[in-house]
Amino acid sequence: MPRMTRDELTEVLMKRLGQLEMTIEDEARWKVVNLAKGLPAYVHGLGKFAALNAVKVPTLRSRINNNDVDVAIEGLLLSSDQTFKDVYESATRSNQPGNLLKQALTACALARTDDSGYFTPTAVREPLSAILGKWVEIANFQNHLLAFIDTKRNAILERIGEQRAYRFRFKHPAMQPYVMMRGVRDGIIDDEAKQALSSSEYPDLFAI
């Protein structure tokens, strides 16, 4: 199934909220749409949990804000399929301190992709540099990409192409938004990057 455009995802979100007689702040709307990465199921899930947080006692608000979406991320992660949790943990598990596997995988989820969801190692460099707060070269995370296609780690990514021209993408499309939300919840994505997620111009704001 092809991914939906941001306009189509926005239409889905606004239509559902309209049925509830609710509205959403612009930043919160963009965060939902950007996190969904073209998958309507995530728009529905984030919208649902955000709406539930807005209307709970004592707030009883009809307008969803950015904080509601942050709360929704936690709710959606807790309700996610156990398979997603197992694949993520397998991909990022390491006994080596400071291994940066979680940071590198989060950067893969944030990387700019083509229409088929593929990204290049070069596209990972900017978000990973932003996450780490320092410029990194491809050589610094090349082994991480190899780890993510290893079947021993459940091969969370798949790779095509030839050497020096490899492209990667998440084997299961729904893992990409999941990894992004884990990054938000676990503090891998900092406040500046979260602001980019709330922008209509995302993902072009991740240059360090």
Asked if 148 and 69 sit in the same domain, the reply is: no
What is the pLDDT at residue 207?
45
Only one residue has tokens 């993510």, namely 148
Q: Which of 45, 60, 79 is the last residue of a domain?
A: 79
Asked if 72 and 11 sit in the same domain, the reply is: yes
Domain of residue 149: give its range. 82-197
Q: Is residue 204 part of a domain?
A: no
Helix (H, G, I), strand (E, B) or coil at 6: helix
pLDDT, tens digit (0-9, with 9 covering 90-100), for 69-90: 999 999 999 999 999 999 999 9
Average pLDDT of the residues in 138-144: 95
Pairing of the two strands 167-170 and 63-64: unpaired
Q: Is residue 34 part of a domain?
A: yes
Q: Which of 26, 50, 79 is the last residue of a domain?
A: 79
Asked if 147 and 190 sit in the same domain, the reply is: yes
Q: Is residue 139 part of a domain?
A: yes
What is the rounded CA–CA span in Å between residue 124 and residue 119?
A: 8
Model confidence at 208, pLDDT cuts 50, 70, 90, reads: very low
Name the domain count of the chain: 2
pLDDT, tens digit (0-9, with 9 covering 90-100), for 27-74: 999 999 999 999 999 999 999 999 999 999 888 999 999 999 999 999
What is the rounded CA–CA span in Å between residue 208 and residue 205?
A: 9
